[in-house]
Amino acid sequence: MGRQFILFGALLALLHILLSAFAAHWLQGDWSADQQRWFDLAADYHGSQSAGLILCALASLILGPSQMFNRACLSLLFGTLVFCGSLYLMAWTGIRGLGAVTPVGGVALLLGWGFFAYAVLRSGQTSQSR
């Protein structure tokens, strides 16, 4: 599944650029300070987590695929969509209640990075024992 996750990461990165360009050119001054802060936070995480997903997928191709790498990539993908998506929606709609979903995405991101670290550690043990 590494190739599919690279594709998802690339598409997330493309979406990040599109949303950031749209906000920079068409929405300047139309938002409250809170809405701008939510958008900026979403964009920061969106860009870094897109790169993280690509990195995780590449690591699985280089070190060898495993269930743990798949869990890591899925968690990073899900977490990015939920965490950033809820913040983007809050920014565009101004509905603060959408923030209740944001921590779910944050936990998924934390799990994703933990799974990634564990997958890398396990792949080193596996390759040494061959």
The per-residue pLDDT of the chain, averaged, comes to 92
pLDDT at res. 26? 75
* pTM of the predicted model as reported, rounded to 2 decimal places: 0.90
- Of the listed ranges 29-43, 44-58, 72-86, 91-105, the one predicted with least confidence: 29-43
- Can you tell me the mean pLDDT for 69-84? 98
Q: Residue 50: CB partners within 8 Å, gap ≥ 6?
A: 9, 10, 12, 13, 16, 80
The radius of gyration of the chain's CA atoms, rounded to the nearest angstrom, is 16
